[in-house]
Amino acid sequence: MSENEHADDHAGHFIVPPKYYIINAVVIAILMFLTIAASEVTFPGGVNGMGYLVALLIAILKAACIVSIFMGVKWNTPLVKVFAIGVIGWLTILFTFPMIDLASAKWELGTPYSDIGHEGENALFMDDDAVLLVDEEPKAD
């Protein structure tokens, strides 16, 4: 039986049969238990290594199940799909720049601003004037 025979057309809008919802919920529940099981496995790379990527990947799969079946994007028009998938694009922009900063900047929680940018650790990212300004700040002692 084809998919369209299951789903009734309603003004260009498919009515999704309940069995799709039940199957989808079972799949998401299995993925949830898989997430918990994966967290017990020791993956290479430590806390931010492979285990972290597996957890994120399963979460993305679960989100895809919810969006495509529960929210019905699977049966929507191509234009609506563009807007739905476009959310990923917006989030990619949002995540890219802070992560670039994370990869390049070298600071620690509680470090005074005046201690950042001295020669050595982070000098590459500061021009000469900036280093000079930092050096000219009055010392507490």
Partner 1 sequence: MSDLTMGPKEPIVSDHFIDREQQNEASHIGMWLFLAQEAMFFGGLLCAYFYYRFKYPEVFVEGSAQLNVYMGATNTIVLLVSSVTMAMCVYSTQVGKWKQQMIYLSSTIALGILFLVIKWFEYAEKWHYGLVPHLNWNPHGAHSLDDPVKGELFFSLYFIMSGMHAFHMIIGFGIAAVFWVLCWKKKFGPNMYLPVEYFGFYWHFVDIVWVFLFPLLYLIK
Span from 19-27, 112-120, 122-130, 133-141 in contact with partner 1 (CB under 8 A): 19-27
Query: Shortest Cβ distance from residue 127 to partner 1 (Å)?
Result: 25
H, E, C per residue of 54-117: HHHHHHHHHHHHHHHHHCCHHHCCHHHHHHHHHHHHHHHHHHHHHHHHHHHCCCCCCCCHHHCC
Alpha-carbon span 74 to 3, nearest angstrom = 11
Q: Which tokens hold the place of 110?
A: 């509680």
Q: Is 39 in the site for partner 1 (CB under 8 A)?
A: yes
Which residues would be at the binding site for partner 1 (CB under 8 A)? 10-13, 15-18, 21-22, 25, 28-29, 32, 35-36, 39-40, 46-48, 51-52, 55-56, 58-59, 62-63, 66-67, 70-72, 76-77, 79-80, 83-84, 86-87, 90-91, 94-95, 98-99, 101-102, 109-110
